[in-house]
Amino acid sequence: MNKRLALFFLCAAFAIAAYLLLDEWRFEQLSSLAKTQQLWEQDMEMMQENHQLPKAWSSIREIELSPGSQEALMWLKHLQVPVIVDKKGEFKLQILFLPWAEEGKQGVFLQYDLVDLKSPNSNTVFETNRTIMLTGERNWLEEFVKGFFPPKEVPARPATPPPKTKLKN
């Protein structure tokens, strides 16, 4: 009986590890657009579950997208904003969307402004911004593998001064 139970737990642990590895591999194979859509939806869910959004968020009548660049405009044509619109709502959600790439990292910057449509001055009642990282961050799988196979130390070469150059007038 104990052997069967141990075998069951071993198989269950293997199945869970295989699932996690496959899920991580699948995510890494997605295009930047598909990663953005998935992570944007997850981020919105997380903000709602953690009560980071105001009550007015459930009363959004319209969404105004502001692409921060030509690239952003192309991305927005293929993405769906993960916000529910209420035709009887009292607020407009303005979203500045700006994809970026820097030093091997890629991400998307989002600026949310919730505007009261009933106020004479279109007052902003809530604002926040988010950064969604698509690449460039070390993931748990990479850290796990490095724990078993640490990188080899490469001895540093002695620094050599640059050759002298002459400027022509």
pLDDT given at position 3: 79
Query: What is the domain partition of the chain in residue ranges?
Result: 1-30, 31-136
The answer to whether 38 touches 29, Cβ cutoff 8 Å, is no
Query: What does the pLDDT average to over 140-158?
Result: 56
Query: What does the pLDDT average to over 132-141?
Result: 69
Q: Is the pLDDT of residue 160 over 80?
A: no
Q: What percent of the chain has pLDDT over 70?
A: 71
Residues with Cβ < 8 Å from 65, sequence gap 6 or more? 76, 81, 95, 97
The pLDDT tens digits of the residues spanning 29-61 come to: 778 888 999 999 999 999 999 999 999 999 999
pLDDT given at position 39: 92
The pLDDT tens digits of the residues spanning 103-116 come to: 888 999 999 999 99
pLDDT given at position 145: 58
pTM above 0.85, yes or no: no
> What burial class does residue 81 get, using C-beta atoms within 10 Å of its C-beta: 0-12 exposed, 13-18 middle, 19+ buried?
middle
Q: For residues 90 and 85, give the distance between their C-alpha atoms in angstroms, rounded to a whole number.
A: 11
Cα 51 off chain centre by: 19
